[in-house]
Amino acid sequence: MKNSIKTFALAVLLAVLALSTPAQESSGSQQAPSGKCTEEFKQQTYNRFTSNLKTNQQVAYEAGKEYLSCFGNENDQYVNYIRRFVTAYEQATQKAELRSRFQQLYQQQKYAEAFPLGKQILAEEPDNLSVMIATAWSGLGAVTAGQDAIIPDAAAIARKTLQEIEAGKAPQGATNFNKDETLGWLNYALGIYAVKQNNPREALNYLYKAAQYEGFAKKDPQTYALLALAYQQAYYEPMAKEYRDKYQGQPESPEQQAALAQLNQVIDRIIDAYARAIAYANASGEARYQQRKVEWTNQLTAFYKFRNNDSTTGLDQLIASVTTKPLPSPTIPTPAPTPTPTSQPSGGTTGASPAAANPAAQQSVPASASPKPQSSPIKQPMMRKMASNRS
C-alpha atoms less than 13 angstroms from C-alpha of 324 in its C-beta half-sphere: 6
320-367 pLDDT, tens digit each: 999 999 999 999 877 554 444 433 444 444 333 333 344 433 433 444
C-alpha atoms less than 13 angstroms from C-alpha of 252 in its C-beta half-sphere: 15
12-66 pLDDT, tens digit each: 333 433 333 233 333 333 444 456 899 999 899 889 889 988 999 889 888 888 8
Tell me the pLDDT of the chain (391 aa) as tens digits: 444 444 444 443 334 333 332 333 333 334 444 568 999 998 998 898 899 889 998 898 888 888 888 988 888 898 889 889 988 887 788 788 989 999 999 999 999 999 999 999 999 999 999 999 999 999 999 999 999 999 999 999 999 999 999 999 999 887 889 999 999 999 999 999 999 999 999 999 999 999 999 998 999 999 999 999 999 999 999 999 999 899 888 889 999 999 999 999 999 999 999 999 999 999 998 888 888 999 999 999 999 999 999 999 999 999 999 999 999 999 987 755 444 443 344 444 433 333 334 443 343 344 444 444 444 343 333 333 333 333 4
- DSSP assignment letter at 146: T
**pTM summary value:** 0.72
Cα(387)–Cα(391) distance, rounded to whole angstroms? 11
- What sign for the dihedral angle of Cα 316, 322, 328, 334? negative
Q: Which long-range contacts (CB under 8 A, 24 or more apart) does 250-254 make?
A: 252/339, 252/354, 254/337
Is the separation of the CB atoms in 321 and 209 below 8 Å?
no
Burial of 281 (0-12, 13-18, 19+ CB in 10 A): buried
What is the secondary structure of 262-285 as a DSSP string? HHHHHHHHHHHHHHHHHHHHHHH-
Cα(128)–Cα(126) distance, rounded to whole angstroms? 6
CA dihedral angle for residue 238, residue 185, residue 329, residue 237, rounded to 10 degrees:
-10
The rounded mean pLDDT for the chain is 80
66-81: buried (b, 16+ CB within 10 Å) or exposed (e) per residue?
Answer: bbbbbbbeeeeeebee
Task: State the alpha helices, DSSP H only, in the chain.
Answer: 2-18, 22-27, 39-51, 57-71, 77-107, 111-124, 129-144, 151-166, 179-196, 200-210, 221-231, 237-247, 254-284, 290-307, 315-321, 354-357
How far is residue 50 from each of residues 37, 81, 157, 188, 216, measured CA to CA in Å?
18, 11, 42, 53, 54
How far is residue 29 from each of residues 15, 62, 67, 244, measured CA to CA in Å?
19, 18, 12, 83
Cα(100)–Cα(120) distance, rounded to whole angstroms? 13
